[in-house]
Amino acid sequence: MLIVQTVERETMIKKKILTVLIFLVFTVLFIACENEEQIVEEVVATEDLSSEISDEQTLESDIEEDEFRALVKSMLNLSCDEVIEKSEWIEEKVCYRVAVERTTEVEGEYKHLTDYIFVKNETVKCIKVTYPSKHDTMDADRYVYDACDFAVRYEDITFDGQKDIVISLGHQGTAGTCVSCAYVFEENDYVYVKSLEQIPNYSLNEEQKCIDGFYKDETFQYHFWNGEFVELKQDISKPALSKETIDSYGYVDGYSVLRFNIVPQTVVEYDEFYVVDAVYTQPIEVPANLAIGEQITVVVNELTGEQRTLERRDDGLYQLEVNENEPYYPTYFRYFDSEGGTTITLIDENSDCVDKVVFEGKLYVRKDATIESTFDSKIEEATKENLNSKYSMVYNNVYFDENGYVTRLVSIGD
């Protein structure tokens, strides 16, 4: 009897232990399943991308394939209400797009929600593009109209040699006007530019290096100017796009205080004027009567904020911390004490004036303008051929009419 009771007690203990073990196993499995579902939600996008990216044996960049995939994964922070719609190369091995959509339908809204666009050159840049609700006002940034496919294009819409990102926003109004938004590459980054959304049915005009807009029977042309797309008026009775900028620097004896470096092979011809890319510069001014050993810092490019530190020595100014790998820049400057003025113009060892860049834009040159040189007293009519020289031309004294169009380009040397 005692043996039977002992056996029964041992059997009951084993059953209890087994029950506890089964409970623990199911608890662990349940927690693991929950974690696995969460992990799957977080990386499903990356898995989709991996299957596509792995088809490419090599990616032509310093960044390896695994690093690119890891970066894409880190940027795709999807919520439980989001899922990958599709992923695709816009330009093979350079521009990659991941489209994200809602997991559930929302009445009156597009299912498409967000775009992640990766541009892969020496480094990888990610642009996250979101869109407003259809219930927002139509002047909202990137407002999406009817029949939108959110098509992405990777093309140079500012004609600066750098490709930009353009996304279709659908068709507006009864005329079905095509609307697009843009992220323009400026200063090593992609910047959202709303003004492209005001251009109807945009297309690239490669010949005249501008954007054409079409509405009904009318055609409009736009230049990218000072960070915006601005309509170009092909009439010299209308102010030139450059007028306000150039006016802000002022004039002396009838010509601009700026000097203009015309960029070779950039001239575009219109009925009454030429348009040419130009770098606007100004002479660098430094304090007069510096003491021996005194140091100053001067800005040599106002667009980038680039600076140089100079030190006064017995025979002039010397640049400190010279980088032999950077583009040529004078390291020695002539310097003379001034009895009257508080500043003097910086000149190099050849007595040439040293300029700083203040703006990059365009010049609008009248077809009756003249090009003049004080070296040989030569005066000639401005033509597409002589403006389009393969050599960079610097004009010291540039005269303008009342609407900001160039009337005289005078070169007097440095």
Q: 2 pLDDT band (50/70/90 cuts)? A: very low
Q: Which pLDDT tens digit goes with each residue over 15-40?
A: 555 555 555 555 544 444 444 333 33
User: For tokens 């690119």, what's the residue?
Assistant: 68
Please check whether residue 178 is in contact with residue 171, taking contact to mean a CB–CB distance below 8 angstroms: yes
Mean pLDDT value across residues 221-225: 90
pLDDT at 329: 67
The one-letter amino acid code at 161 reads G
Residue 106 CA to residue 394 CA, distance in Å, equals 59
Residue 102 pLDDT exceeds 90: yes
User: For tokens 């400057």, what's the residue?
Assistant: 333
Q: Which pLDDT tens digit goes with each residue over 384-406?
A: 988 987 666 889 999 999 999 99
Q: What are phi and psi of 76, to 5 degrees?
A: -90, 85
Q: Strands (DSSP E) along 254-376, which ranges?
A: 255-256, 259-262, 268-269, 273-283, 285-287, 295-301, 306-313, 316-319, 332-334, 343-345, 347-348, 355-373
Beta partners for 275?
268, 364
Residue 7 pLDDT exceeds 50: no
Q: Strands (DSSP E) along 103-176, which ranges?
A: 112-120, 124-130, 152-155, 164-172
The one-letter amino acid code at 159 reads F
pLDDT at 171: 93
Q: Which pLDDT tens digit goes with each residue over 297-309?
A: 999 999 888 898 9
Asked whether the CA dihedral 20, 22, 23, 27 is positive or negative, the reply is positive
Buried/exposed code over 236-268 (b: 16+ C-beta within 10 A; e: otherwise): beeebbbbebbeeeeeeeebbebbbbbeeebbb
Mean pLDDT value across residues 93-121: 92
DSSP symbol at 76 = -
Higher pLDDT, 62 or 338: 338
pLDDT at 124: 87
